[in-house]
């Protein structure tokens, strides 16, 4: 444990009017020090405490420490319930979603604001999406296999598909989808956006969350058309638009579980017989995985790139591993050396907003689940 901010290692409640920011997320020495120093310079009444996971990977936070906390930054660790943290003003998660704690008493039985790190993943995940799409379209897997065999066969890399004039359909037009749109537009692609609720006005299409400078689609100007709805009829209308690249970037909820299944793969095939390329960077259960395997085997879609599966880790005997035209990575598309810095900047912004009486960014709607 590293104590920052001076004073006792565990200042006791009632002995000080200073506030406490508690970090329980794994971090490397130096990766957030600059941002934390900026926070402490701006909030002079704030102590900061770091609690690192033990060698077993579990986080053990002393009760006397978390009971005094005013702000908590975490990936997964939470106090037992809200009564144990009477002074907690918000919880800043370092993950894009909070479905992993949806059954915890803090989620179900409290009104403590839960804030996600939505917005920090856009650049790196968009690059992963485009990388996989280009690997598929330019037949790089086959070319790499030739390299390993020291074969020179130019015909393998001919008749590739490039991007201008193609259509990317982004199912879930949040921060990740918006950065995919920015890169796709630069490649000459047409962008279609799909959201849970209608976005009929310019104001409703704005991104009010955290945005990495120079990225995304802050004013929602990239899509040529917007679609919306949580019913299958609305989804099918979107999928009928001859989509070449379909990017799944929706949160996992009861409604979006198996959002893509047999009927949806049939719609994609009918609208684009050449084969839609499906990319999932949301959560594995958003796709009905056995039906995905069937769609790939029957060539109803052109291929799939999956950074998430159902379940995770994907068992070695799962048929998905050996399904043709699928690329699988172990849930790493959101990784970047800049992650901790960006996520702590979200925390910094929310501290400012709470102080200034403004609306917090990325606050989770418990009823919606995101």
Active site residues: 283, 312, 331
Look at the chain and count its residues.
Answer: 370
Give phi and psi for 263, each to the nearest 5.
Answer: -60, -40
* CA 145 centroid distance within chain: 31
Of the candidates 319, 251, 316, the one whose C-alpha atom is nearest the C-alpha of residue 285 is 251
DSSP 252-296: P-TTTTT-B-HHHHHHHHHH-TT-PEEEE-S-GGGB-HHHHHHHH
95 DSSP 8-state letter: S
- CA–CA gap between residue 247 and residue 125 (Å, rounded): 11
Of the candidates 364, 276, 124, the one whose C-alpha atom is nearest the C-alpha of residue 260 is 276
Lookup result for tokens 């790196």: 124
- CA–CA gap between residue 293 and residue 301 (Å, rounded): 10
Distances in Å between the alpha carbon of 225 and those of 102, 205, 308?
A: 33, 11, 27
- CA–CA gap between residue 1 and residue 65 (Å, rounded): 11
Indicate the Cα dihedral angle 72, 206, 214, 307, nearest 10°: 70
């Amino acid at each position: 444990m590293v104590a920052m901010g001076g004073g006792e290692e565990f200042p006791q409640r009632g002995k000080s009017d200073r506030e406490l920011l508690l970090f329980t997320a794994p971090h490397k020495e130096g990766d957030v020090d600059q941002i934390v120093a900026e926070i402490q310079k701006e909030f002079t009444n704030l102590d900061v405490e770091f609690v690192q996971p033990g060698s077993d990977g579990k986080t053990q936070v002393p009760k006397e420490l978390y009971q005094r906390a005013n702000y908590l930054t975490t990936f997964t660790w939470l106090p037992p319930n809200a009564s144990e943290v009477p002074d907690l003003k918000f919880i800043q998660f370092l993950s894009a979603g909070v479905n992993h704690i949806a059954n915890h008493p803090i989620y179900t039985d409290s009104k403590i604001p839960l804030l996600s790190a939505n917005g920090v993943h856009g650049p790196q995940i968009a690059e992963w999406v485009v990388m996989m799409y280009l690997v598929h379209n330019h037949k790089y897997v086959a070319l790499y296999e030739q390299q390993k065999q020291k074969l020179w066969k130019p015909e393998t890399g001919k008749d590739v598909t490039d991007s201008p004039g193609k259509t990317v359909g982004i199912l879930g037009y949040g921060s990740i989808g918006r950065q995919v749109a920015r890169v796709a537009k630069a490649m000459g692609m047409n962008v279609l956006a799909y959201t849970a609720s209608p976005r009929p006005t310019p104001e409703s299409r704005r991104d009010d969350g955290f945005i990495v400078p120079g990225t995304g689609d802050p004013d929602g100007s990239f899509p040529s058309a917007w679609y919306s709805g949580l019913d299958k009829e609305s989804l099918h209308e979107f999928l009928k638009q001859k989509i070449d690249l379909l990017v799944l970037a929706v949160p996992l909820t009861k409604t979006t579980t198996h959002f893509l299944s047999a009927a949806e793969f049939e719609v994609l095939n009918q609208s684009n017989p050449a084969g839609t390329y499906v990319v999932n960077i949301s959560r594995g259960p958003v796709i009905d995985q056995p039906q995905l395997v069937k769609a790939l085997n029957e060539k109803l879609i052109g291929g799939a790139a999956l950074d998430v599966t159902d379940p995770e880790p994907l068992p070695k005997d799962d048929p998905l591993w050996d399904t043709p035209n699928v690329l699988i990575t172990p849930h790493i598309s959101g990784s970047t050396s800049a992650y901790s810095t960006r996520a702590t900047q979200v925390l910094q912004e929310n501290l400012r907003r709470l102080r200034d009486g403004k609306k917090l960014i990325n606050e989770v709607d418990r009823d919606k689940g995101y």
